[in-house]
Structure 1
Amino acid sequence: MKASSNKNFFQPRARLLLQLGDKLIKNENVALLELIKNSYDADAKKVTVKLERITDKKGGRIDITDDGEGMNIDIIENVWLEPGSDYKAQLLAKNQRSKKFNRLPIGEKGIGRFGVHKLGNKIELISRKEGEDEVVVRIDWNKFSEEKYLKDARFEVFIRTPEYFLRNRKGTRIIISDLRTDWDKRMVRDLYRAVFTLNSPFKKSGDFTVDINIDDKSLVEGLPTWDDIKKFALWHFKCKLSGTTIREFNYEFSPWESLPELEKRQVTQEEDYIQDNETFVKRDPDNPKKEVIINLAKNYGSEKEPKTIGEITFEGYIFDRDKQTLELGNQAGITLLKQYLDEQGGIRVYRDNIRINEYGEKGNDWLNLDMRRVNVPAKRISNNLILAVIDLKIAESTALIEKTNREGFIENEAFYDFCGAILHTINLVETLRKIDKDQIRNKYNPTEQEEPVLHHLNELHLLIEKRIEDEPLKEEINKHLQKIEDDYNFINETLLTSAGAGLTLAVGIHEVQKVIAELTLAVQREQVPDKILGLVNHLDQLIESYSDLLKQADTKEEDVVKFLNGATFNVGYRMEAHHIELIKAYRNYKGSHMISCSRRLLMGAVMNVIDNSIHWLEIKRQRLSKTSETFDKKIYIDVLHNEPGYLEIVIADNGSGFTIPKYQLTKPFISAKNNGIGLGLHIVSEVMKVQEGSVRFPEANEYDLPAEFQRGAITVLKIKLLSHDTSE
């Protein structure tokens, strides 16, 4: 016997629409931006957003009004009130543009309107098409939680003689009340930033503008603008990418008037360097040793429904945040610049001049710029050094598909090719910028404090070429100097094995520098050749003796938890002596334990990081004690497995964080400590390279650490997992 159910259909619950607003819309800013984008799709020229008593959720109100095409009762009933309507998707598929501004719709999911629930519980919508009556919709979202089924949650929809859009006016007005959130100053300022970045800051407002009016002006006082920041930019570039190559390229270095020794420089697509590197390439996913060409015109869809990335316009401004360089600029507002770049720096993406959410937001390193800079700090650009925009054409970029929650593009093949073409272009810009950046340092900061030995050796090379005429002697001296430089680089690259344990590399460097200084003086005074050659021989033997102290560290299997137990045991007495609480979160780690490392070198790296924390925690305690504020010093150690084949040892403290730029932390001879040598983290970096790992210094909230450690110094040591270890 076969019995069929009478309920052979979906019967959605009333709370489904509330969930759509809550789950699919990230936050209040995104919800409001979705409503503004709806106005864009309605062919509006201007949108006005009024925020009234926004900090009081019961008495507050959000009022959004546009001068677009408006809606009649037919569109309200058959489009606006149908969740998931494909009305806009159909317009896009047919390439049907708006009448007045020739726009294609940027909203096609049919769910953005339900973000109003994210903003408030009550909504009144008033809309009027040209020559027709007004349509009014009044919804109390609370009713949707009271009723069981969606069909039972009723609300008002009616037509009336125009009362708001009088005479020939048309458009849509949405009034949201009974707010769901007490907005604070941060939320309001974030909203202002989001709205004002909805259009590219590099273009005039054109045919779509958004005005925000707020009754409490104190909430937005002191917000920096793009015009305040642009004057600090030293570099500007604008490129057009099409097909497989860079079609147009323009790079400009524009030094400030306060840098008279530097000349403006421009590089275009006509230069050999650009022409030699204009083709986009990527690693073949099936054969990493092979490169394949990226084609932005490639069809990622089908013959019936072709999908491409299309032409890309990429424009940006780059800044130099080096303290000494900024001071050379003699411009007010340095603090404002850093604040602006920290909050708004990065690369944004626009389609038909309307921003795609998430890209360029703080903490969203979608192109991995920050990690690239950690690996090559002297050359690479991080998000807080650049403000750039990518412009796409909506009709051409159909292969880039927005996620349902509006947080960027789906990460498909087209998206990765898109990123590859952008990174290829960024690399060209970075290379050109490095040349100009080095000129700034050489002209206005020529002491080369970061690598004094190599700098002095180079000066000595030039001096010998100039002052010594005896060719055999010159050749002999230069041969020794080259060997000295090679040995010194070997020391720097492979480390003194006992440096971390206490035998300081600075002793050797100090001795080497003294001999170089004496040798330089001898050459300048044109003393007898035997004296010069003797000093060179002595220097050669001296640095070779330090090179001989190096050994190739044996790599063995280590249990990371047992290793860290040993490391924390070693510092146990110091923790007690300095009254520091050591939190051993790594003991809860349940994943693969076995790593491949040299225990001696890795132990030295961990101890160096802990030494830094001990020092700076005490500095913070002393500073706070002057204000009678108590401070409990803490160090937190954990183990994470975020990347296949590697473990990450996370060491964080609750101090004040790093006081010098993170990209300089691993450079030798740079230290914020009084009388500090500046070798500790350089040694750590070199140790991790020897271990085929790396060290990095993440931003706050990049790792899921307890809140008290997010503002302190966070160091991550990435070390290889043993490939045969498959334990869970």
Structure 2
Amino acid sequence: MSESFQSHSSTFRPRARLLQLLGDQLIGSARLAVFELVKNAYDADASKVSVEIGGLGTDEPTISVTDDGEGMSLSTLTDIWLVPGHENREVQRQRLIRSPKFHRLPLGEKGVGRFAVHKLGNSIELVTRHAGCRECVVRIDWNQIISKPFLSEAPVQIEERSPQVFTGQRTGTQITISDLRQKHWSRGDIRRLQRQITTIVSPFDEPGSFSAVLEVPGRELWIAGIPDVGTILSRATWKFSFELIDGEYNWFYQFLRIPLLRLEGRELVGTGEKLLLPPSTKRDKVTATADFQEGIGPVSGDFYVYDRDRDYLRLLTESKLVTDYLDENGGVRVYRDGIRVYNYGEPTDDWLGLDMRRVNTPTRSISRNIIIGAINLQLDSSQALVEKTNREGFVEDQALLHLKDIVLGALMTLEVERQKDKEAIRSLTGKASDIETEKIRQPLNELRRAIRREGLEGKLFKYVDKIELDYEDMQRTLLHAGMAGINLGVVFHEVERGVKTLHRAIQMGENRQTVQEQSEGLMGLLDGFATILRRDDGAVQSAKKVIDRARRNNSLRFNHHRVRFEAPILEGGLGDFDAQMSFGLVVGAVGNLIDNALYWVRVRWPDVPAKSQMTPRKIYAGITNELEEGPAIIIADNGPGLKDAPDRVVSPFYTRRPGGMGLGLYYVNMVMQLSGGSLRFLEPGKSTCLKDMTELSLH
């Protein structure tokens, strides 16, 4: 016996309250809803939009948004505006169809921006007029609409009339919302809305084809006295601008003259450079090559940076005006085709993590409360950056991560140069440089977790425990000896670097013998510090042994980064010499030079195929007897070379390497001095020499 089946067809029947719910859920706040209506005016090819908040202090406040755009015809109203999710704007963007008057690509693409009106109030009146058409009026009462069970039972009436608002040849759209959801608007709310509306266009650009104003009848004083952004920008201490186009990085840096300190300003220009990216474990690239910008397109930016040190602010007039403005408006905003992408740069949004960077390196990094910045993108070439439906930034994907890296890389250029001027300001105001230190317990705990995952507890935990004990003992010794500060920072730097190298070896599956040797090497480094502190000159060791240990410590990294390491002395070459030294410290010094070389050869040679046998990246370690002072260890690479003078690169906390502590070469220089040797730069930008000058040198 066969069963009989019946099939039925049906359709979705959206409830009448759906549009109101979408407005509530898609638009985060009333201010953002107003901002969205202003953006809609931009898409309508308007040159000016006026926002008026009327009836404040009464029971019936209203919001009115009026633009002088192209307006809408009756067919546009019925076929597009009243069709949520219509793909009209999306098609225009994909086909690069620009507006007739100002040649704009539309910012909207999802057809849901009009829900902003439903976020603001229950009663909406829309008046619009297109060229050559009569004026159309749409009135929506949401209290009536949501009383109906389904949208199909809630028709919207459209009236055509002779122009009353847009008379003569005028076109545009006016939306008036009453029966507001937010009936009380405080002075703070209005001032924040004013800031939001006036920042829809970049404050750094010349007046363009679009502007927005806020009017508050009867409450004009509420928005009076808001500082003009031009006044604030004129009080910046540093200015920086950059552009990155197809992997080519150009920048301009300006430190403004400070007459009260008798400190002259300076300017620097960089052209055709490579942009260094912040460190990341998720990519091997260290520079922003052309393919790194794919889907993002050209990126440019302007940064205005301020000095908020108290000793400096005392010298300035109107310093409170500047600091108050920065507290509320500081940060880096994003603009696409000159129009702001909300909510980047808002007080609650630290999209670049600037404040956390400042906590980690307080004397170098720039926090949000000392910068006013704008990042500029082009809509037609940044299609990979997709705005979220809720209008709160871009979708968190690879394209956004790349944009963040580009901006942080540019900020690093600014921070490096700014550091030099900050030192000059501090010296004139009598304020010493801050001391930076890094804790080691967190990296050690991460190392323990990695060891546990690999099942190596029995072999390696004893080394990690010994490293931690030796480190803590070293910390107490330095503090007790009055050597806190920079020397303590060097210990932090070296132990952290050693722990990370060991952690990397475990994660990448290096053999246990090598891991054990690296653990022993890290303990030897700490023993070396202790030797120096005890004024013990150490034992006699061979230069060849130093190079061999440094090579083994970094062999995994040479392979991973496709670097050709050449050390003829380890392959039977002649020229070895012995010297009295603290072995662990000298190995650490050579390791620092190799670490720097590994980074900078990748900067100069960013694209090397994974299986390439002919890598251009090269590092050399060897011995020379050609110097007048005696034999020396040579570490050389074919990277881009040094951009700074030797006395600058060996100073503490100075680095051009993103994410670096700025202690590597300072440490190398200190170790050689304590060991009776010296650090020399034989050919600026090409080779580095660790020169031994003890009585045991071979001549």
State the TM-score bracket (shorter-chain normalisation).
0.5 to 0.7
Q: Once the two structures are superposed, what CA deviation does each residue of 1:380-421 show, in whole Å capped at 9, x if it has no partner? A: 000111100001111111111111111111111111111111
Alpha-carbon spacing, 1:232–1:299, altered in 2? closer, same or farther (3 Å): closer
**Residues 283/376 of structure 1: CA separation in 2 closer, same or farther (3 Å cut):** closer
Q: 5 Å matches for 1:475-514?
A: 495-496=475-476
Partner of residue 166, structure 2: 165
Cα 1:53–1:97 shift into 2, 3 Å: same
Specify which of 13, 16, 19 is matched with residue 15 of structure 2: 13
Q: Write out aligned runs for 1:333-348 (5 A).
A: 334-348=319-333
Letter paired with 1:279:
L
2:285 alignment partner in structure 1: 291
Counterpart among 296, 299, 303 of residue 312 in structure 1: 299
1:236 is the counterpart of 2:239: yes
Letter in 1 for 2:83: E
C-alpha distance in 2 between matches for 1:112 and 1:46:
19
Match of 1:441 in 2: 426
| Partner residue of 1:386 out of 350, 371, 374 | 371
Q: Please show how residues 389-400 of structure 1 align to structure 2 within 5 Å.
A: 389-400=374-385
Q: 1:665 maps to what in 2?
A: none
2:70–2:130 contact (8 Å) kept in structure 1: yes
Percent identical: 38
Contact 1:245 1:280 in 2 (8 A): no
Alignment of 1:313-332 (within 5 A): 313-329=300-316, 331-332=317-318
Equivalence for 1:696: none
Aligned 1:419-438 pairs, distance under 5 A: 419-438=404-423
For residues 132-183 of structure 1, the C-alpha deviation after alignment (integer angstroms, 9 at most, x for no partner) is 1011100011123211111112232121121221111111111111111122
Matched residue type, 1:244: G
Q: Aligned residue for 1:28? A: 30
CA drift at 1:211: 1.7
Gap runs ≥5 in structure 2: 436-469, 485-529, 535-699
Match of 2:226 in 1: 223
| Pair 78,445 (structure 1): closer, same or farther in 2 beyond 3 Å | same
Secondary structure, aligned partner of 1:13: coil
Which residue identity lines up with residue 308 of structure 2 in the other structure? R
Q: How does 1:608-647 map to 2 (within 5 A)?
A: none
Equivalent-residue separation in structure 1 for 2:409 and 2:349 (angstroms): 20
For the 8 Å contact 2:261–2:428, the answer to whether it is kept is no
The amino acid across from 1:61 in the alignment is T
In the other structure, the counterpart of 2:248 is 245
Counterpart for residue 146 of structure 2 = 145
Aligned residue type for 1:64: V
Q: Match for 1:319: what amino acid?
A: Y
Matching residue's letter, 1:311? P
Closer, same or farther: CA 211–382 of 1 in aligned 2, 3 Å: same
Letter matched to residue 217 of structure 1: E
* 1:281–1:427 Cα change, 3 Å: closer
Distance in 2 between residues matched to 1:172 and 1:310, nearest whole Å: 33
For the residues of structure 2 that align with 1:315 and 1:76, how far apart are their CA atoms?
Answer: 40
Write the distance in 2 (CA, Å) between the matches of 1:317 and 1:396: 26
Q: Which residue of structure 1 aligns with residue 128 of structure 2?
A: 127
Structure-to-structure mapping, 1:186-265, within 5 angstroms: 186-215=188-217, 216-246=219-249, 248-260=250-262, 262-265=263-266
1:76-95 superposed matches below 5 A: 76-95=77-96
Give 2:221's aligned amino acid. Answer: S
SS of match in other structure, 2:163: coil
Instruction: State whether structure 2 residue 396 is matched by structure 1 residue 411.
Output: yes
Matched AA of 2:310 = K
Change beyond 3 A, Cα 1:493–1:209: farther
Please state whether the residue corresponding to 1:84 is helix, strand or coil: coil
- Residue 238 of structure 2 contacts residue 255 of structure 2 at CA under 8 Å; is this kept in 1? yes
Q: Which moved more, 1:118-127 or 1:225-234?
A: 225-234
Amino acid across the alignment from 1:190: R
CA contact (8 A) 1:350 1:390 kept: yes
Shift of 1:205: 2.6
Residue 285 of structure 2 aligns with an amino acid whose one-letter code is E
SS at match of 1:48: strand
CA contact (8 A) 2:52 2:65 kept: yes
Structure 1 residue 39: deviation in Å? 0.8
Deviation at 1:40, TM superposition (A): 0.6
For the residue of structure 2 that corresponds to 1:395, the secondary structure is helix
SS in 2 for 1:269: strand
Q: CA, structure 1 residues 291+167, in 2 after alignment: closer, same or farther (shift >3 Å)?
A: closer
SS of alignment partner, residue 109 of structure 2:
coil
- CA-based RMSD: 2.8
The structural deviation recorded for 1:326 is 1.2
Q: 1:440 to 1:507 in 2, by over 3 A?
A: closer
Match runs of 1:555-594 below 5 Å:
none
Matched AA of 1:207: S
Tell me the CA shift for residue 338 of structure 1: 1.5
Give the partner amino acid of 2:56: I
* Contact 2:238–2:305 under 8 Å retained in 1: yes
- Mapped partners of 2:44, 2:298: distance in 1: 26
What is the rounded CA distance, in whole Å, between the counterparts of 2:115 and 2:128 in structure 1?
Answer: 17
For the residue of structure 2 that corresponds to 1:135, the secondary structure is strand
SS of residue in 1 equivalent to 2:395: coil
- The answer on whether the counterparts of 2:293 and 2:402 sit within 8 Å (CA) in structure 1 is no
Deviation at 1:27, TM superposition (A): 0.5
What is the SS of the residue equivalent to 1:186? helix
Relative to structure 1, the CA distance from residue 218 to residue 2 in structure 2 (aligned partners, 3 Å threshold; closer, same or farther) is: farther
Task: Write the distance in 2 (CA, Å) between the matches of 1:494 and 1:119.
Answer: 63
Q: TM-score if structure 1 supplies the norm length?
A: 0.59
Q: Is residue 282–residue 294 contact of structure 1 (8 Å, CA) maintained in 2?
A: no
Task: State the Cα distance separating 1:10 from its structure 2 match.
Answer: 1.1
- Residue 450 to residue 268, structure 1, CA distance change in 2 (3 Å): closer
Any idea what the Cα deviations from partners look like across 1:573-595, whole Å, max 9, x if unmatched? xxxxxxxxxxxxxxxxxxxxxxx
Is the CA contact 1:137–1:158 (under 8 Å) kept in the aligned structure 2?
yes
Cα distance, 1:345 vs. partner?
0.5
SS at match of 2:261: coil
CA drift of 1:360 comes to 0.5
One-letter amino acid matched to 2:321: L
In the alignment, which of 41, 44, 53 is matched to residue 51 of structure 1? 53
8 Å contact 1:21–1:115 — kept in the other structure?
yes
Partner of 2:180: 179
**Does the 8 Å contact 1:282/1:291 carry over to 2?**
no
Task: Provide closer, same or farther for how the CA distance between residues 494 and 150 of structure 1 changes in structure 2, counting only shifts above 3 A.
Answer: farther
* Superposition deviation, residue 203 in structure 1: 1.5
Q: Which position in structure 1 is the counterpart of 2:387?
A: 402
For residues 352 and 34 of structure 1, the distance between their equivalents in structure 2, rounded to whole angstroms, comes to 16
- The one-letter code sitting in structure 2 at the alignment partner of 1:371 is M
Residues 50-104 of structure 1: per-residue CA shift (max 9 Å, x gap): 1112354x41111111111010010000110011111001111111111111111
Counterpart of 1:411, as a letter, is E
2-side partners of 1:292 and 1:252: how far apart?
Answer: 26
Contact 2:308 2:370 in 1 (8 A): yes
1:49–1:213 contact (8 Å) kept in structure 2: yes
User: What is the TM-score of this pair, normalised by structure 2?
Assistant: 0.61
- Closer, same or farther: CA 245–18 of 1 in aligned 2, 3 Å: same
> How much does 1:238 deviate?
0.8
- Pairs aligned (count): 452
Structure 2: distance between partners of 1:298 and 1:252: 28
